[in-house]
Amino acid sequence: MSEMSNYLEEEIIKHIFRTGSFTKPTVLAFCLLTTNAVDGDTGQFTTGTGVEVANAGSYARVNRPPLDANWAAPTGGNGTTSNVAAITFPTATAGWGTVVAGAITDVATYDAGNLLFYSVVGANRTIDNGDIAEIAIGAATVALA
């Protein structure tokens, strides 16, 4: 995830340079998208450019909260972290379409919350009935550099 949303950028600026405070999210929910998001999108993808896979066929966002057990420590001043365990979505009970991007929001509820990060996936993948979408260990890299 290399792109940061406008929401997150503004919250960080207010927190560091102004008098505002940014409350650390307790949820970091992974979403699968059939079109890529843009900086101005929210976690309510039905109103933005990014389109989350349909809320059907057992699709659900997957929460990996901000814990040391879920995220690698940054090393060497590179401004990155990555998932230390696989992120596995429920088995699809209907086709979800072609996934072209992923996103992290601060709410696990479908079509809700604030968009934090987003990125295109390495290779598009069509999710059919019976498929399991999974992000391998270390494949969800978040960069602030």
Q: What is the residue range of 123's domain?
A: 3-143
What are 46's two structure tokens? 């039905």
**19-48 residue pLDDT tens:** 988 899 999 999 999 999 999 999 998 777
> How is the chain split among helix, strand and coil, in percent rounded to 5?
10, 30, 55
What angle (nearest 5°) sits at the alpha carbon of residue 119, between those of residues 125 and 35? 55
Number of domains in the chain: 1
pTM confidence score: 0.93
> Residue 99: which of 87, 84, 114 has the closest Cα?
87
Low pLDDT (below 50) residues in the chain: none
